[in-house]
Amino acid sequence: MAESEPTVATPDAVPVAAAPASTTAPPDPRAGWTDDQKRAFWKTHSYFEAIPDTIGPMRQLLREYSHVPDAEMDAHLFAVRDKLWAVHKYPCIGRFAFCDLNMTKSPHYQAAVRRLRASSDERLLDLGCCVGQVLRQLMHGDGVPASQLSGSDLHKAFIDLGFEVFRDGPPEASELTFIAGDLLSDDDKSCDVLEKSATLVHAANLFHLFSWDEQVKLGKRMIGFLREDALCGGESDSDDDRLTFLGTHLGARVAGEHRIMPASPRMRYLHNTESFQRLWDEIGAATGTRWRIAHDQTREGMGEALTGNTNIQYVQYGVWRAV
């Protein structure tokens, strides 16, 4: 389905669509690489030998919520990373991105927390939740009751391993709701139980796995997960109240089809602000809804550092019901 062991394909990483007329993509520095160079890059950028020093908030969560002693922390993280990696080789697993809780600094995340804490009627669904780190952060770090939180992922094994990561099993005793299922499959009905359940949907590092058409399908699915009142809204015109979807992902200065890692088998659509609005316009037109987006670079330099391509940026996004 998504990023996996490298199958070297050519041509490499050339944005091919949706470039705004005024901008052209810088040449991809990886374009002339040999297959061996691509493989070497994939290995060094997708499976880190060291734990990044940016995971302080996750260490704090594991220390305070899961009672993992500092002396055991790194061994614990390496061990669970390798179990997750054995399930599926997403670069976000190999490079410990599932331990990155820096999205808590996003104003959209903070708005979601305000809403969830202000009313027990609010419900957040985390799509592509992986081990459920965001849900544990919301629950323990941000004081949101578990009954207001649910998550879904393609890989049930990621959800199950989340209980090993956070030492809060057994799963059947958890107050958090997790559903495993394929969001893009017409045949997989597992996630149907989540329909009309949420007032906020978090989706981090998920859009960038997919093509434009798959993202339209994902967006339509996300709208289907909204409760009627979240979809129609009340009279409020406050940004906090209208925020509906939020997350982070890889974007691009010049939007288009990109190969995220040089040896990725698939091209995915990476957005800039204009293309992400256009995506939500298309999702809106297909569902009779209207959306306004924000799509801003965050953590400058991170997108380039992760991918070796100066065109790629790390982005935080929010999507609001349009007034």
What are the residues binding ligand SAM (CB under 6 A)? 1-2, 90, 92, 97-98, 128-130, 153-155, 158, 182-184, 204-206, 209
What distance in Å separates the CA atoms of residue 256 and residue 26, rounded to the nearest whole number? 13
- Which residue, 33 or 212, is less far from ligand SAM as judged by CB? 212
Q: How far is the CB of 162 from ligand SAM (least distance, A)?
A: 10
Cα(60)–Cα(44) distance, integer angstroms = 27
Least distance to ligand SAM, CB of residue 195, Å: 15
CB of 259 vs ligand SAM, minimal distance in Å: 15
Instruction: Give whole-number Cα distances, 257 to 19, 156, 266, 270, in Å.
Output: 10, 29, 9, 6
Residue number, 182 or 304, with CB nearest to ligand SAM? 182
> 268: which residues sit within 8 A by CB, 6+ positions away?
208, 209, 210, 211, 257, 258, 259, 260
Position closest to ligand SAM via CB: 128
Q: Whose Cβ is closer to ligand SAM: residue 12's or residue 153's? A: 153
Which CB atom, from 37 or from 60, has the smaller least distance to ligand SAM?
60
19 or 91: whose CB is closer to ligand SAM? Answer: 91
Identity of the residue, 188 or 229, whose beta carbon is nearer to ligand SAM in the bound complex: 188
The answer to whether 251 touches 297, Cβ cutoff 8 Å, is yes
Q: H helices of the chain, where?
A: 35-46, 56-64, 70-87, 91-94, 107-118, 133-136, 156-166, 212-224, 228-232, 239-242, 273-287, 302-307
Which residue number, 146 or 184, has a Cβ lying nearer to ligand SAM? 184
Q: Name the minimum Å distance from CB 219 to ligand SAM.
A: 13
Is residue 112 within 8 A of residue 246, CB to CB? The reply is yes
DSSP-assigned beta bridge partners for residue 201: 125, 245
CB of residue 305 to ligand SAM, shortest distance in Å: 17
Assigned token pair, 63: 């220390």
Strand partners, 180: 153
Instruction: Estimate the crossing angle of helix 56-64 against helix 156-166, to 10 degrees.
Output: 70
Which of 274, 222, 220, 223 shows the shortest CA–CA distance to 252? Answer: 274
Query: Minimum CB separation from ligand SAM for residue 34, in Å?
Result: 27
Q: How far is the CB of 293 from ligand SAM (least distance, A)?
A: 19
